[in-house]
Structure formats: structure tokens, C-alpha cells
């Protein structure tokens, strides 16, 4: 399989094979991923029985790739990546400040109660208060991982230092 993919793309020196996905089922193909110097990725599908290439596609044009770009950078390149990373960092700060100013700290049991028979503004406040405290950990770690993902060059040394794990090459 490797020889088949490398032979097909031997004329293109800008491509190199960097990943192979093994089939999930007996009827699924092998998927080889190639990347080029201009950061274009090509997926090549190989029949596991005959070893012949049955298809190829540019990965950047797939739905999952488009959704990833939307999620990661709002499809706005480096500017979008920085914007999403800063928004994630601000979400971390908001969860911490929400935890600090949560009004339920005075009386813990009443902090988790929602008065459904009160004025709609009060019901809205109570729902906000309860949902906020219940989801604060999830929201913080979601924002934190988003920030670390988008600013990996900045956060990588911190992550290795905090986890006391040596960086492997």
C-alpha cells in the first residue's frame, strides 16, 4: 500500500505521506494522507485486498475540514485563530468571575433553588444562577482547551512545565 501511494505521487516532490488510517471494517479502504509544502492535504483511498488506489480527494474541501476551520478560526485564517483564542481566554475569565460573584455562596441550599412562581425576571435570574454554577467547570475547561489549542506555541511550554512531563521529539 505504501509503495502504491508513493509510486503514484513520485513525480510530485512537494508531497509526502504523513499518516495512514487503517480500515474500520473489512469493506473499508486504507486512507493515506499526503501533505504538500503549500499546506494542501490529499487523501488517497486504497483497496485493502487489491492494493489499488480507488479514489483521492483534497482534504481541505471536505465537510469535516470546513467545519474544523469554522470552529478553529471562523474561516478567517490567522486573524480568526487569534480571535477565537482570545474569546476562549475571555470565557475562562468570565467563568472565574462568575464563580466568585455567584450569589449562592451565602446560603448554599438556596443558591440551587429556582422560584418558578416568582416574577419572570426572578425566574430568569434563578435559572441563570443555577445553570451557571452547574456548568462552570465544563465551560472553563472548554475555554481553556480552546485557548491552548489556538495559542499552542505560547501554551506548550507551560503545559509541559505544569504536568512535569518532558517534551519528546
Q: How far is CA 118 from the centre of its chain?
A: 41
- Mean pLDDT (whole number) for 122-148: 96
The model's confidence at residue 169, banded by pLDDT at 50, 70 and 90, is low
Tell me: the pLDDT tens digits for 7-50? Answer: 898 888 888 888 999 999 988 999 999 998 887 899 999 998 99
Which pLDDT score, from 0 to 100, does residue 136 have?
96
Averaged pLDDT score across all residues of the chain: 92
The model's confidence at residue 129, banded by pLDDT at 50, 70 and 90, is very high
Q: Which helix (H) or strand (E) holds 43?
A: strand 41-46
- Cα-based angle 99, 102, 106 (whole degrees, multiple of 5): 125
Q: Are strands 41-46 and 30-35 parallel, antiparallel or unpaired?
A: antiparallel
- Mean pLDDT (whole number) for 58-64: 88
Distance CA 134, CA 75 (A): 32
CB atoms within 10 A of CB 16: 12
Amino acid at each position: 500500500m505504501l509503495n502504491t501511494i508513493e509510486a503514484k505521487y513520485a513525480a510530485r516532490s512537494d508531497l509526502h505521506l504523513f499518516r495512514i488510517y487503517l480500515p474500520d471494517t473489512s469493506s473499508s479502504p486504507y486512507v493515506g494522507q499526503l501533505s504538500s509544502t503549500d499546506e494542501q492535504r490529499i487523501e488517497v483511498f486504497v483497496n485493502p485486498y487489491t492494493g489499488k488506489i480507488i479514489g483521492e480527494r483534497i482534504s481541505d474541501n471536505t465537510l469535516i475540514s470546513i467545519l474544523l476551520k469554522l470552529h478553529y478560526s471562523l474561516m478567517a485564517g490567522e486573524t480568526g485563530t487569534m480571535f477565537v483564542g482570545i474569546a476562549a481566554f475571555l470565557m475562562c475569565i468570565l467563568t472565574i468571575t462568575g464563580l466568585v460573584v455567584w450569589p449562592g455562596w451565602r446560603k448554599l441550599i438556596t443558591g440551587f433553588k429556582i422560584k418558578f412562581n416568582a416574577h419572570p425576571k426572578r425566574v430568569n435570574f434563578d435559572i441563570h444562577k443555577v445553570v451557571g454554577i452547574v456548568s462552570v467547570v465544563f465551560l472553563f475547561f472548554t475555554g481553556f482547551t480552546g485557548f491552548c489549542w489556538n495559542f499552542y506555541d505560547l501554551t506548550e511550554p507551560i503545559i509541559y512545565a505544569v504536568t512535569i512531563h518532558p517534551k519528546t521529539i
